[in-house]
Amino acid sequence: MNNSKQTVQIVQKILTANDDLAQQNQTLLDSKGILALNVMASPGSGKTSLIIRTIESLADEIQIAVIEGDTAPVTIDSDKISGLNIPVVQINTGGDCHLDANMVRLGMDSLELTDIELLIIENVGNLVCPASFRLGEHANIVVASIPEGDDKPYKYPNIYRGLDAMILNKIDLLPYVDFNIQYFKAGISALNPGVEFFELSCKTGEGIDRWSDWILEKVKEK
Amino acid sequence: MNNSKQTVQIVQKILTANDDLAQQNQTLLDSKGILALNVMASPGSGKTSLIIRTIESLADEIQIAVIEGDTAPVTIDSDKISGLNIPVVQINTGGDCHLDANMVRLGMDSLELTDIELLIIENVGNLVCPASFRLGEHANIVVASIPEGDDKPYKYPNIYRGLDAMILNKIDLLPYVDFNIQYFKAGISALNPGVEFFELSCKTGEGIDRWSDWILEKVKEK
């Protein structure tokens, strides 16, 4: 396409501007002692279910808020979270395929930051675009799930790179799906040597405790 | 962001250029009597498995070729298809989140079009970006799967709109997952009144015959 060179230049400007805004977000979060998680995943891997389990596990110990990224103005996920009496801000990206630092800042401006210790940011369900946009988060998390298949780290390496924790959800479906955990883990380890790896089931609750303990330790370090 | 207005203008130019190229692709496909399918889905919904089942079902009756879109230069999917002695061209998008008409044209240029009756284009696994880029296809197909959840048509309406066929894969997992087919179907029907709807399992083979018959009829209409 004739416009490709010009487009690349502008995208680079936007990415630089986004990185600057992400840094400002992180500085503000740090000043308030808030730990921010960027939760990324394919649609339907269980991001919202994981956030709900995390809230159920930790809401008595720490103050939690959620920023919910969605491409469409439906409140299916936000309603589930606000039903747990947790502050939640939904960001409708208007069809865009990822959150960016500016959207997250707008979300932060709608929250009482002094009351928050843990901010969970649920990104748009997408294994490609969110990888390029930092938000100001302190930890990047990808949620994969057993039915998606064990080859995803090899096929979508950009989003599986630079992770602080890797969650493999829906392990209750292991008996019914062909999934080689060693092959999957090898792909994760090649991109993220020594990354924290959590196998769990948001349906049965198996493995949630270890994940919650990991977050709690991170919050207390802030 | 300061650049947003300029960016929108350029994206519109690219989309117009893409639509023009898509039209040229379709004209070329029509001149060769080829039916082209654009298969879109979330990562791990079973696009490649469906293509393999389709080939196994139809390769004795019609000539098939595949264009395989991937964000990374791994040949996991292409190897599976070429193992069936079917011409396959892999397009590495270089991290991009969708195929476009220019990429598909490059793929078409690598195929012997006079030998082909059905061209299956496997798009990048993504429920957002591929919706905006026509490729020259005659039919748009989305593959969803039971474990992704029944709310996806409501949360990703852009990609679920304008479909010629909707495939619900992995119905063998229905006993183990909370999934309300009526709720899912209502979301699909609201966006695509009267669309062809196929419930199937690429694992067990259930429902593949009806899907293959539908394609065969479309190919014979060309």
Among residues of chain A, what percentage have pLDDT more than 70? 95
Please give the Cα distance from B93 to B76 (Å, whole number): 15
Among residues of chain A, what percentage have pLDDT more than 90? 90
- The answer to whether residue B17 neighbours chain A at the CB level (below 8 Å) is yes
Q: Is A178 a member of any domain?
A: yes
Q: Is A1 a member of any domain?
A: no
Minimal Cβ distance to A155: which of B70, B97, B156 = B70
Please give the Cα distance from B107 to B67 (Å, whole number): 6
CB of A156 within 8 A of CB of A125?
no
B186 pLDDT more than 80? yes
Q: pLDDT grade, residue A144 (50/70/90)?
A: very high
Q: What single string gives the DSSP state of each residue in chain B? A: -TTHHHHHHHHHHHHHHHHHHHHHHHHHHHHHT-EEEEEEE-TTSSHHHHHHHHHHHHTTTS-EEEEEEESSS--HHHHHHHTTT--EEEEE-TT-SS--HHHHHHHHHTS-GGG-SEEEEE--S-SSGGGG---S-SEEEEEEEGGG-TTHHHHSTTTTSS-SEEEEE-GGGGGGS---HHHHHHHHHHHSTT-EEEE--TTT-TTHHHHHHHHHHHHHH-
A130 pLDDT more than 70? yes
A195 pLDDT more than 60? yes
Query: Is B7 close to A10, i.e. CB distance below 8 A?
Result: yes
**Measured on CA atoms in the order A156, A159, A163, A166, is the torsion positive or negative?**
negative
pLDDT recorded at residue A172: 98
pLDDT recorded at residue B13: 77
pLDDT recorded at residue A13: 77
Q: Is B115 a member of any domain?
A: yes
Query: Is A126 close to B124, i.e. CB distance below 8 A?
Result: no
Mutate to test the interface with A, among B50, B68, B71 (most CBs of A within 10 A): B71
pLDDT recorded at residue B7: 56
pLDDT recorded at residue B198: 98
- Structural domains of chain A, count: 1
- The answer to whether residue B80 neighbours chain A at the CB level (below 8 Å) is no
Q: pLDDT grade, residue B3 (50/70/90)?
A: very low
Per-residue pLDDT of B71-120, as tens digits, reads 988 899 999 999 999 999 999 998 899 999 999 999 999 999 999 999 99
Q: Is B104 a member of any domain?
A: yes
Q: pLDDT grade, residue A11 (50/70/90)?
A: low
Query: Is B14 close to A1, i.e. CB distance below 8 A?
Result: yes
ipTM of the complex: 0.90
Q: Is A3 a member of any domain?
A: no
Assign residue A200 the CATH number of its domain: 3.40.50.300
Q: Give residue A33's region: left, alpha or beta (phi > 0; psi -120 to 50).
A: left
Among residues of chain B, what percentage have pLDDT more than 90? 90
Which domain range does residue A139 map to?
10-221
Q: Is B5 a member of any domain?
A: no
Q: Is A64 a member of any domain?
A: yes
Minimal Cβ distance to B44: which of A42, A72, A76 = A42
- The answer to whether residue B150 neighbours chain A at the CB level (below 8 Å) is no
pLDDT recorded at residue B95: 87
Per-residue pLDDT of A173-188, as tens digits, reads 999 999 999 999 999 9
Nearest alpha carbon to residue B208 among B168, B176, B173, B181: B168
Q: Is A5 a member of any domain?
A: no
Nearest alpha carbon to residue A83 among A51, A110, A115, A107: A51
pLDDT recorded at residue A15: 78
Per-residue pLDDT of A88-125, as tens digits, reads 999 999 889 999 999 999 999 999 999 999 999 999 99
Mean pLDDT computed over every residue of chain A: 94
Mean pLDDT for the stretch of residues A195-207 = 98
Beginning with the edge strand found earlier in the chain, give each strand of the sheet holding A118-122 in spatial order: A88-92, A64-70, A118-122, A35-41, A139-145, A165-169, A196-199
C-alpha dihedral over B109, B110, B116, B121, to 10 degrees? -90
Q: pLDDT grade, residue B16 (50/70/90)?
A: confident
Q: CA dist B168 to A129, B144, B149, Å? A: 25, 5, 11
Minimal Cβ distance to A7: which of B1, B14, B156 = B14
Mean pLDDT for the stretch of residues B197-201 = 98
Q: CA dist A207 to A199, A204, A210, B1, Å? A: 6, 9, 6, 41
pLDDT recorded at residue B11: 65
Residues of B in contact with A157 (CB under 8 A): 72
Nearest alpha carbon to residue A131 among A97, A173, A89, A105: A97
Please give the Cα distance from A212 to A200 (Å, whole number): 11
| Backbone phi, psi, residue A213, to 5° | -60, -40
What is the count of residue pairs from A and B with beta carbons less than 8 Å apart? 134
DSSP secondary structure letter of residue A72: S
